């Protein structure tokens, strides 16, 4: 599907995701806006070439989605250069949380995926897979206080780096857990928002129609006094 400079790959919308790219890229920054059911989220497009499609979730449920491509014109101003509407009927409410996307980026050969397969090889239920992945993360990953002091809010999670160094900030660790669970067929989403008043990232896991919240960062640093999680975005 093409409108203006926006290309949408819509073959997998029932599975909860689509791909997008600018078909005529230039040196100007691009953003993608995805909106449905009174909710919306913006993404920075980091790949612009013909082969540089990125994957995005349809996390707002069934309905009519509007996907818009914005091009930076000057300063903080952007103009719409493409718009596509998608009529979405998901195969399952958790379908968007079983596939890689821009924020939860992994492949079948990613180191974390191979580790998840090793950890879960004898598991017979989703609950067992979650327990195995949680245990491994809590025993092997540490929080990167130096990166946390330097990084901005717009930086994407780096799952491979977090796995390799066994260290990351909250969104790296949460995205790592989500990738490992999804690779084992367990629906999970990366959530970004506030833990009390602190900007933060955590995990939602979907097991047997139950939504469970898990904060790997809090478990790693033994922080147990968060009173309220407020979700702003989820992927």
Torsions phi, psi for 221 (to 5 deg): -95, 5
pLDDT reported for residue 178: 98
pLDDT reported for residue 50: 47
pLDDT reported for residue 160: 97
Query: Hey, CA dihedral for 88, 1, 188, 95, is it positive or negative?
Result: positive
CATH number corresponding to 111-234: 3.10.620.30
Neighbours of 74 (CB within 10 A): 8
CATH number corresponding to 2-98: 2.60.40.10
pLDDT reported for residue 24: 84
In the chain, where are the structural domains located? 2-98, 111-234
What is the C-alpha separation between 189 and 231, in angstroms, rounded? 11
DSSP assignment of 102-135 equals SSS---TTSHHHHHHHHHTTT--SHHHHHHHHHH
How confident is the model over 127-140, as pLDDT tens digits?
999 999 999 999 99
pLDDT reported for residue 51: 56
The list of the chain residues with pLDDT below 70 reads 46-52
């Amino acid at each position: 599907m093409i409108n203006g400079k926006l290309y949408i790959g819509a073959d997998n919308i029932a599975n909860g995701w689509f791909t997008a790219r600018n078909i005529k890229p230039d040196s100007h920054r691009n953003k993608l806006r995805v909106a449905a059911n009174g909710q919306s989220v913006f993404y920075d497009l980091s790949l612009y070439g013909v082969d540089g499609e990125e994957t995005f979730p349809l996390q707002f449920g069934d309905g009519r989605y509007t996907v818009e491509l914005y091009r930076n014109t000057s300063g903080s101003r952007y103009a719409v250069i493409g718009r596509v509407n998608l009529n979405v009927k998901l195969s399952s409410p958790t379908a968007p949380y079983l596939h890689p996307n821009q924020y939860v980026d992994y492949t079948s050969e990613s180191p974390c995926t191979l580790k998840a397969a090793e950890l879960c090889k004898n598991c017979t239920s989703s609950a067992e897979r979650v327990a195995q992945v949680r245990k491994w993360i809590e025993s092997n990953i540490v929080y990167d206080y130096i990166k946390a002091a330097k990084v901005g809010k717009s930086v994407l999670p780096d799952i491979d780096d977090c796995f390799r160094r066994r260290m990351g900030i909250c969104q790296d660790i949460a995205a790592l857990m989500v990738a490992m669970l999804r690779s084992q067929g367990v629906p999970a989403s990366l959530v970004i928002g506030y833990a009390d008043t602190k900007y933060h990232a955590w995990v939602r896991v979907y097991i047997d129609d139950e939504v469970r919240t898990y904060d790997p960062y809090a478990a790693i640093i033994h922080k147990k006094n968060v009173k309220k999680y407020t979700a702003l975005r989820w992927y």
